[in-house]
């Protein structure tokens, strides 16, 4: 029996990495399910925030990646409705799996092709957290106007939605109604629990990591504000990694960095590839992400898998972390609790920190080794 053909449409894909979670989510689905389904990918020929095409791929044609995945990389000059229509016609997929809610090129254009040509292929959309309250709070008027218009035009009628969590399923149904077809399948991760880095931790000292895109949604500025209020007897090195998504926002953050007291040092260290991430985790004790919204949070699971406990907002799927000695999950509005968590992390001596390291890795293992997640993702593409 022939495998179902699935065309994955996504704005950025491997070898890109600057767009973060969506790239990893798609790559992990393909890696885990390629024996069950025939995947191909259509994407752009640049990484997020870049203008220069990848040097290792051929634009506007099919490429085969080292893992065997066929990927078509559109250049900005060649992409058009007609070009996407021809590609979908030639591929004749059973499913088109789109990985954004708002993407003009890689969601709305494929949807238009499917509608206009009345194709029999199934349209599946993973909004990747874009319909959460935290995400919609950024540029809300523009986003809500688009949602209202799309509902009026029936843009998303008869699609199947991929929700990463029951909470995201509720968010989708709150907008598109209870009759919307939603399949819940937790994202798959490529993170692996390996031997935990042997690192020393002194009480009242902390290497704190921010490992995410630098955007208002991720709330780096809040961390910098909390660090301004840390007691002088506590020494913190705050290491910031991530794509600079919004220059004006980064300028705000830089002005906050300049106001940090002498016992708190903050440094922006650029963007690292997935391969380099393990070294970054090995150099830090805790990571922090007070995000407005994450439908999964690959950086969170990767941190835990590396034995680096996390301090996160409750706007992620990962809760009851403190009970598991894997970190802290805190209501975003509770500034005091976040400051207390940072101080609690800093105050740990080496023996206590080592316990939390092991517990964090165990927490990640319980997520990564859950076979039900594979089953859920197979069901997403069934029927």
Between 50 and 21, the more confident residue is 50
Pair type for strands 310-313 and 286-289: parallel
3-state secondary structure of 86: helix
Q: Give me 255's structure tokens.
A: 């002005």
Render pLDDT for 199-216 as a digit per residue (tens, 0 to 9).
899 999 999 999 999 999
203 secondary structure, DSSP code: T
The domains located in the chain, with CATH, are: 4-188+370-380 (3.40.50.2000), 205-368 (3.40.50.2000)
Residue-level pLDDT at 367: 92
Q: pTM score, two decimals?
A: 0.85
Retrieve residue 192's tokens.
């692996």
CB 223 within 8 A of CB 210: yes
Tell me, what's the pLDDT at 195? Answer: 67
* pLDDT value, residue 194: 67
What's the pLDDT score for residue 136? 82
Query: Under a CB-based contact definition with an 8 Å cutoff, are residues 68 and 77 in contact?
Result: no
Identify the three-state secondary structure at position 268.
strand
Q: For 249-306, what is each residue's pLDDT tens digit? A: 999 999 999 999 999 999 999 999 878 899 999 999 999 999 998 989 999 999 999 9
Per-residue pLDDT tens over the stretch 74-120: 999 999 999 999 999 999 999 999 999 999 999 999 999 999 999 99
How far CA 94 is from CA of 48, 97, 106, 160, 332, in Å, comes to 28, 10, 17, 13, 42
pLDDT (tens digit, 9 = 90+) per residue, 298-349? 999 999 999 999 999 999 999 999 999 999 999 999 999 999 999 999 999 9
Secondary structure string (H, E, C) spanning 306-369: CCCCEEEECCCCCCCCCCCCCEEEECCCCHHHHHHHHHHHHHCCHHHHHHHHHHHHHHHHHHHC
Alpha-carbon distance of 353 to 357, in angstroms, equals: 6
pLDDT of residue 5 exceeding 90, the answer is: yes
User: For residues 189 and 142, which has the higher predicted lDDT (pLDDT)?
Assistant: 142
* Best CA proximity match to 341, nearest among 226, 261, 242: 226
**Do 34 and 68 meet the contact criterion of CB atoms below 8 Å apart?**
yes
Is 83 exposed, middle or buried (CB count within 10 Å of its CB: 0-12, 13-18, 19+)? middle
């Amino acid at each position: 029996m022939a495998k179902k053909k699935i065309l994955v449409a996504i704005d950025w894909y491997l070898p890109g990495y600057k767009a973060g979670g969506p790239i990893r989510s798609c790559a992990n689905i393909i890696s885990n399910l390629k024996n069950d389904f025939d995947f191909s990918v259509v994407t752009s020929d640049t990484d997020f925030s870049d203008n220069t095409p990848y040097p290792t791929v051929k634009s506007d044609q099919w490429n085969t990646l080292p893992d065997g995945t066929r990927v078509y990389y559109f250049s900005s000059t060649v992409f058009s409705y007609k070009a996407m229509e021809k590609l979908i016609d030639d591929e004749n997929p059973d499913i088109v799996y789109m990985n954004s809610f708002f993407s003009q090129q890689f969601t709305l254009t494929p949807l238009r092709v499917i509608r206009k040509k009345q194709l029999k292929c199934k349209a599946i959309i993973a909004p990747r957290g874009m319909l959460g309250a935290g995400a919609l709070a950024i540029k809300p008027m523009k986003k809500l106007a688009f949602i209202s218009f799309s509902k009026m035009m029936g843009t998303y009628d008869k699609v199947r939605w991929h929700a990463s969590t029951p909470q995201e399923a509720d968010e989708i149904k709150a907008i598109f109604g209870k009759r919307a077809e939603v399949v819940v399948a937790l994202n798959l991760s490529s993170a692996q629990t390996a031997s935990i880095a042997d690192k020393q931790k002194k009480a009242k000292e902390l290497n704190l990591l921010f490992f995410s895109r630098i955007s208002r949604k991720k709330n780096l500025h809040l961390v910098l504000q909390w660090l301004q209020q840390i007691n002088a007897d506590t020494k913190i090195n705050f290491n910031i990694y991530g794509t600079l998504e919004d220059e004006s926002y980064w300028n705000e953050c830089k002005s906050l960095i300049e106001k940090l007291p002498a016992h708190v040092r903050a440094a922006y260290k650029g963007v690292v590839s997935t391969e380099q991430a393990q070294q970054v985790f090995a150099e830090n004790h805790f990571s922090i992400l007070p995000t407005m919204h994450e439908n999964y949070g690959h950086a969170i699971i990767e941190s835990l898998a590396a034995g680096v406990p996390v301090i996160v907002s409750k706007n992620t799927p990962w809760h009851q972390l403190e009970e598991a000695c894997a970190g802290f999950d805190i209501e975003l509005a509770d500034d005091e609790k976040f400051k207390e968590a940072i101080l609690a992390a800093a105050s740990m001596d080496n023996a206590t920190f080592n316990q939390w390291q092991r517990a964090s890795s165990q927490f990640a293992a319980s997520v990564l080794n859950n076979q039900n997640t594979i089953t859920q993702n197979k069901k997403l593409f069934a029927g």
